[in-house]
Amino acid sequence: MGGTYVQVGMGKRVVGFPVAEMCEKDITAKGCFRYGPGDFELAMELVRGGRVRLDGLVSHVFPFERATEAWEMAGRGVGGKVVIEGPRDREEMEG
């Protein structure tokens, strides 16, 4: 047996693990932060080159005025990526 579990991203502050089962199956646990220097440029290159598709990634887009609703939805784990638009200028909103 054996294997490695890698936690990518922060996740919840405290998570329970079945320690006995991990030991019995000789599982190694490792942590990994979300990103590092140069990762954004690499990601953009992968998207530009068509190697990563973003279709369907964003499930909901909220105007800035509904940011609280967006945070609540994301907190419930509804959908995929929830995006909050930046605030708009008053002139842009009226025009």
Angle at 32 between CA 27 and CA 37, to 5 degrees: 155
State the Cα torsion 57-59-63-65 to the nearest 10°: -120
For residue 68, being part of any structural domain is answered with yes
For residue 43, being part of any structural domain is answered with no
Per-residue pLDDT reduced to its tens digit, 71-90: 999 889 888 889 999 987 75
For residue 82, being part of any structural domain is answered with yes
Per-residue pLDDT reduced to its tens digit, 13-40: 888 888 999 999 999 999 887 777 888 8
Domain count, the chain: 1
Q: Does the global pTM surpass 0.75?
A: no
Range of the domain at 60: 3-35+50-92
